[in-house]
Amino acid sequence: MVRCSTLNFIHIDKELCGNEVQKCTYAFREVCVESVKLRQVTDGTRFIQLIYGTDNDIKDCEFLRQKKIVQDFLDTFRKDVERAKISSSSDKDYSESEVKTEDDYSFRNVTFQILDNGLPLPSDVSEWLDFEGLKQRCKENHREMKRLLRHKEHGTEEQKRHASNHLERRKRELMDLFRVPGTKWCGKGYAALKYTHLGGFGMADKCCRVHDTACPFYIAAFEEKYGLFNWRINTIMHCTCDER
């Protein structure tokens, strides 16, 4: 297990899965940015992703059984853990000429803990691996959204008004969770009504605006494109765009 202020990783191998004696793998990753939490869990077959807001309520989630999505997550998970192991090593383990990225430094000061067979998980993380519980909460969230959509389309005038307001507020809150405070362009999506509309941090907003609109080859946060899934909370660009 790897734990730090912004990232948590848990990897568990079990010999007994349900009633069958077979080896299965559970992988969990949590990303914390300010008061927002993104939790991603897989049991090797299924994958669930949940976004929590400041009130620790689920703002959005998805439950998938696609093998490629699960495998992509596990590949990224293992790479991040290996990078964390390397980045947490003593500085003497690095060559002075070695080039480090910003992500490498984000993995510094982490602690590794190996839990031997039979030892329980720490109480503060055991609930993270309650796959069925997380799945149920995600389903409840989806049922609530479907109910609001039905009311918006076929409800009474009062139900339509309430559903529209709730859905619009939810969409706005979700987008705001992944945007730098004081900006309109820095984060997932943008809040600007027109291209010239900037937030309080004008220079930062201009930079983000150019970065996110000048390149046609990009993958937004938590979205799939070009056969790849962007697990980051920020937009990723084709390297030729960032170099330019």
| pLDDT tens readout for residues 122-138 | 676 677 778 888 889 89
Overall pTM surpassing 0.75 (yes/no): no
Amino acid at 198: L
Q: What are phi and psi of 41, to 5 degrees?
A: -135, 140
What integer pLDDT is reported at residue 204 of this predicted model?
74
Is 33 exposed, middle or buried, given 0-12, 13-18 or 19+ CB atoms closer than 10 A?
A: middle
3-state class (DSSP) for residue 41: strand
CB-CB contact of 41 with 58 (8 Å): no
Which tokens in the block code for residue 4? 């730090």
Mean pLDDT of the region 37-57: 84
Residue 180 is classified by DSSP as: -
Domains and CATH numbers, the chain: 2-141 (no CATH), 183-244 (1.20.90.10)
- Contacts of 123 by beta carbon, 8 Å cutoff, 6+ apart: none
| Mean pLDDT of all residues in 98-103 | 43
**Which position has the higher pLDDT, 75 or 124?**
75
pLDDT of residue 100: 42
pLDDT band with cut points at 50, 70 and 90 for residue 57: confident
Q: How far is CA 123 from CA 70, 119, 128, in A?
A: 26, 12, 10
**pLDDT above 70: percentage of residues in the chain:** 60
Regarding beta strands 111-112 and 58-64, do their DSSP bridges make them parallel or antiparallel, or are they unpaired?
A: unpaired
Rounded mean pLDDT, 157-168: 90
DSSP 91: G
**101: pLDDT strictly greater than 50:** no
Residue in the block written with tokens 């720490």: 122
Greatest alpha-carbon span in the chain: 68
CA distance 68 to 55: 32
pLDDT score at 183? 76
Q: Which of 40-49, 83-92, 114-123 bottoms out in mean pLDDT, i.e. has the lowest?
A: 83-92
More confident residue, 162 or 237: 162
Cα separation of the two ends of the chain = 39
Radius of gyration over alpha carbons of the chain, in Å? Answer: 21
Out of 110-124, 134-148, 220-234, which region has the weakest mean confidence (pLDDT)? 110-124
pLDDT, residue 88, reads 57
| For range 62-84, the mean pLDDT | 83
Q: What is the pLDDT of residue 162?
A: 93
Q: Specify the pLDDT at position 12.
A: 63
Residue among 23, 24, 22, 32 nearest 9 (CA):
32
